[in-house]
Amino acid sequence: MIRGKYVTLRGLELIDAPEIVRRYNDLEVRRFLLSVVPISLEEERDRIKRSWELRRKGEYYMFGIELNKPKRLIGTCGLERVSHIHRRAEVSIAIFNKTYWDQGLGTEATQLLLHFGFNLLNLHSIWLAVFEDNRRAQHIYGKVGFQRVGTRRQAIFRDGRYIDMYLYDILAEEYRHQLERGTA
């Protein structure tokens, strides 16, 4: 468990599945995520079980984002596609409970993920991809130290048209540098 001031990143349990399924099947949440296909409770339970296995192998670290007060699961996040030789991983994050959007909680969760990736897993680079119209997320990534490094043009088809995906990354040295300056 990685505890912050407002939220804690913790492992997912099977008992979390109903809340995750209920929230993720909301299209307003899902329109910023890769898949618009609904998920079933059983699929989600399988996905959680699979995440334990991948965590043991060190290939994927999936966390629940839990509000500290009151204790409540408000989202999920993770470091995916962990490459051991290149020491890099991809961030995925979603606050699936819309009540908790725009309160700085996603920012803190992202910072906790960076701490986990750079200070505990010894990664060299952490990257992510975000939809061009997901301004809220782009603002957060810029704030915590990511740089926009490229574009995957027309990579996503949604709402009847193609949209771009922006690529962001941050290197370990940049992360440590901003920690020293106290801006992380």
Partner 1 sequence: MHYNDWELRRFLNAIVPVSKEEEEDWIRSTWEERRKGTSYVFAIEVNRSKLLVGGCALTGVSITNRSASFGIALYNKTYWNKGYGTEATQLMLSYGFNQLNLYRIHLTVFEFNERARHVYEKVGFTQVGLHRQALFRNGRYWDIYIMDFLAKEYRKRYPQQEKL
Residues with catalytic annotation? 141
Question: Least separation, in Å, of the C-beta of 118 and partner 1?
Answer: 12
Rule CB under 8 A: is residue 177 a binding residue for partner 1?
A: no
Contact of 56 with 87, CB cutoff 8 Å: no
**Residue 8 token pair:** 């804690």
Question: Least separation, in Å, of the C-beta of 88 and partner 1?
Answer: 11
Q: CA of 101: how far to CAs of 105, 113, 136, in Å? A: 7, 18, 9
Rule CB under 8 A: is residue 58 a binding residue for partner 1?
A: yes
Rule CB under 8 A: is residue 87 a binding residue for partner 1?
A: yes
Question: Least separation, in Å, of the C-beta of 130 and partner 1?
Answer: 28
Contact of 66 with 97, CB cutoff 8 Å: no
Rule CB under 8 A: is residue 85 a binding residue for partner 1?
A: yes
Question: Least separation, in Å, of the C-beta of 85 and partner 1?
Answer: 5
Q: Give, as ranges, the residues between 122 and 141 that touch partner 1 (CB under 8 A).
A: 122
Rule CB under 8 A: is residue 86 a binding residue for partner 1?
A: yes
Closest to 4 (Cα-Cα) out of 60, 58, 77, 61: 77
| Among the listed residues 84, 135, 136, 176, the single contact to partner 1 using CB under 8 A | 84
SS3 annotation, 124-181: CEEEEEEECCCHHHHHHHHHHCCEEEEEEEEEEEECCEEEEEEEEEEEHHHHHHHHHC
Q: What is the largest CA-CA distance in the chain?
A: 46
Residue nearer to partner 1 on the CB measure, 121 or 171: 121
Q: CA 96, CA 94: separation in Å to the nearest integer?
A: 6
Rule CB under 8 A: is residue 176 a binding residue for partner 1?
A: no
Rule CB under 8 A: is residue 121 a binding residue for partner 1?
A: yes
Residue nearer to partner 1 on the CB measure, 56 or 69: 56
